[in-house]
Structure formats: C-alpha cells, structure tokens
Amino acid sequence: MDSQQKKILGYFRMRRILLPMLLGLGVATFLLVRSFDREAFSQITWTSDTWLSLSLALLFMVVRDAAYMYRLRVLTDGQLSWRRSFQVIMLWEFASAVTPSIIGGSAIALFIIHREGVSMGRTTAIVLITAFLDELFYILMVPVMLLWIGPGDLFISEGAYLLIDTRFGLQSLFLGGYLFILLLTTIIIYGVFVNPRGLKFILLYIFRLPILRRWRASAGETGNEIIITSAEMKEKPAAFWLKAFAGTFFSWTARFWVVNALIMAFATVSLGEHLLIYGRQLVMWVILLISPTPGGSGVAELVFGGFLGEFIPPGLTPAMGLSWRLISYYPYLFIGVIVLPGWLRRVYSRKPRKEEDDGPDNDPLLQKPV
C-alpha cells in the first residue's frame, strides 16, 4: 500500500465519520428536546401529498448527484463512464462531508480523478473549473434573487443571528462573503482565460512580503495549476461550457429544492414563499461556507431554524432541520465507506495513466517558482 493510498484511507477512518455525526446529531437533539412540542407532532397528517413531497425531496437528491456526474463526464470529455463518475462523486462528497466547508474535498478529488486514469494536468483543470462553476452559479443567482425578492425579505429580520455578532450583522457578513467569492472568481477568470503566467508572477510577487514568504512555494504551485488549467480549458467550445454550467445549475438548484420539498410536506407554501426559501438558502450557504466544522455539522442544524423557521409549523422546526440533514448530508458518510473498497480494488489493479506531454507540464516556469 503506497503513501497516497494510506492518506486517502485516513479520510475514511471511523473517527472522521463519527465527529460530524456527533456534532450534527448532538445539536439537532438538543434543539429538538429544548423545543419539543407534543401537540405539534400529533397534528401532523400523513396524506398522499405529504408522501409525494417527501419523495420529491429524495428525487431532488438523485437529480443533484446525477447532474454532478453529468458535469464530471463533460469536463473529462466522456473519459469516465456513468458508473465511474458515480464512484468519484460519492467519494468526493464524502471528503467534503468530513472536512470543514471552507476546505472542501478538493485535495482528495485530485487523487481520485487522477487514479481514474485522467492525466494530472487535466485532473487539476477539472477540480479548479468545478470550483469556478460552483462560484459562478452563486454569483449569478444572488443578484437574481435580490431583484426578485428584495433585500428586506431575503435577510432575516434579526440583523444578527445566533453565531453572528450584533455589531457585525448578517447583511455585512453576507456582503463580505459574496465579494470574496466574486474576487476569487474574477482571479480565476483572469488566470485561466486571460493571462495565466501573469497571474503566477503576481502571486509570487505578493508572496515575497515577509509576512507571506513562508507560503511562497504554495503560491507558486497554485500558479502552476492555473497555467495547466488554462492550457486544458482555454480552447474549449461554447457548447462545452454550456453543458458544464447546465450540470452545475441543475445540481445546485436540486440541492436547494430539497428543503422546499420537505417544508411543502408539512406546510402550505405559496410560489412566492418557495422563491424566498430558495433565496434564504443562498444566504445560509455563506454561513455554512465559513463553518469550521466538518461539512458544517452542528452549524447547519443551528442556523436552519433562524433562516427558515417562519415557513415551518411551530414546534416542527428542529425535526425538519434534522430531516434535511438526514436526506442531504449523512447518507454520503455511509455511501462513501461502501463505495471505497470496490473503487480501491478497481483503480489499484492497474497503474495510473502515464502522464502525457501536455505542453505546460514541461515548461521551466512550472518547475521552479520565479
């Protein structure tokens, strides 16, 4: 067993699974016990519409993963089959579930996709472009929701909510997060589509500062990755980008509509409220993005009620938040562990594809930071 395989297996240790489960279920149980309302639960009527809405929530999860798989096949130019794409996405989602949201599962995704026989240059490009498309979706949807709903309804009335200090406020935090995502995406666009070498020089120049010098080598590696990505993606046709973004749009939209379907199972929701629930989740995502806990465990269950509680019958909010996580988060912890052994047997029965001469890989600029 090589060092890379040992490192990957380390992500799938039981303690990495138990930590987010204990955090999330602990917070959910605390909230459920604290606000338990026997009468509210007794008034639930399990009609055909209830079961239909719950089925829709599960269907949206299937659509979310299918769209991710479709996007991966587009980005690999069909090199991965649907079965292999499923395994990659499930392992990628597992990695995201056991690491803090701000870190994500990109490191393990690089390893997984490369072991599928994709060249390292293209693998780097796929992971970076995946992040770019996710951020682009968010950047585009936020203005749409703001114009459609208006800031007065989009943000919860309590300017500071639970973990957010009252002097700072939710809108300030959201604006700061949005501007950071916009800046990051602008940098990626400039580096990948305009001037990748120029961006690397800028990074190396910035990281010459004494306070940043210790990370200069990492900045050089980031510049290398952007140059490789540019070589892989710059000449792709418009149809390629439309397909990739379509996969992104449907995957994220389905992810958010899981909550809409769950709420619809137990409450009457108008079209306008559906849009507001969708928009609130865009705001909530910023909070989850900076969560220090694995997969946002504990934080997600905590903020759910503050953002969406007004649409849920009194007394059912904690249970609804737990149901949301049981459908959209916890399954990946178990599916990842189930998929891993078969994936390891398959990919380690052969050696990874020999690296091709992609052009930029042999560039001296890539070998040693300037």
What are the tens digits of pLDDT across the range 85-135?
999 999 999 888 887 766 667 778 888 898 888 887 788 888 889 989 999
Alpha-carbon distance of 85 to 353, in angstroms, equals 17
50 within some domain: no
Is there a contact between 313 and 262 (Cβ–Cβ < 8 Å)? no
Is there a contact between 200 and 226 (Cβ–Cβ < 8 Å)? yes
Alpha-carbon distance of 37 to 316, in angstroms, equals 8
pLDDT of residue 73: 95
pLDDT of residue 293: 75
Is there a contact between 253 and 281 (Cβ–Cβ < 8 Å)? no
Looking at the 3D structure of the chain, how many domains does it have? 1
Q: Among candidates 284, 340, 264, 285, which has minimal Cα distance to 93?
A: 340
Q: What is the domain range of residue 185?
A: 18-35+60-353
Task: For the beta carbon of residue 226, count every other beta carbon within 10 angstroms.
Answer: 24
pLDDT of residue 182: 92
pLDDT of residue 40: 65
Q: 247-280 pLDDT, tens per residue?
A: 999 999 999 999 999 999 988 888 889 999 999 9
362 within some domain: no
pLDDT of residue 70: 97
48 within some domain: no
Q: Among candidates 190, 198, 200, 189, which has minimal Cα distance to 225?
A: 200
Alpha-carbon distance of 191 to 226, in angstroms, equals 6
Give, in order, the Cα–Cα distances in Å from 191 to each of 24, 94, 209, 296: 38, 29, 21, 30
Burial label, 196 (beta-carbon count in 10 A; 0-12, 13-18, 19+): buried
- Please list the residues that pair with 294 across neighbouring strands: 100
369 within some domain: no
**pTM of the predicted model as reported, rounded to 2 decimal places:** 0.83
pLDDT of residue 159: 39
Tokens representing 199 are 């961006």
Q: 70-84 pLDDT, tens per residue?
A: 999 999 999 999 999
Alpha-carbon distance of 325 to 28, in angstroms, equals 10
11 within some domain: no
- Please list the residues that pair with 100 across neighbouring strands: 294
Which residues, given as ranges, of the chain have pLDDT below 50? 157-167, 355-370
Cα Rg of the chain, angstroms: 22
Alpha-carbon distance of 153 to 162, in angstroms, equals 19
Is there a contact between 34 and 310 (Cβ–Cβ < 8 Å)? no
Coil vs helix vs strand at 294: strand
Alpha-carbon distance of 111 to 12, in angstroms, equals 14
Tokens representing 349 are 């029965």
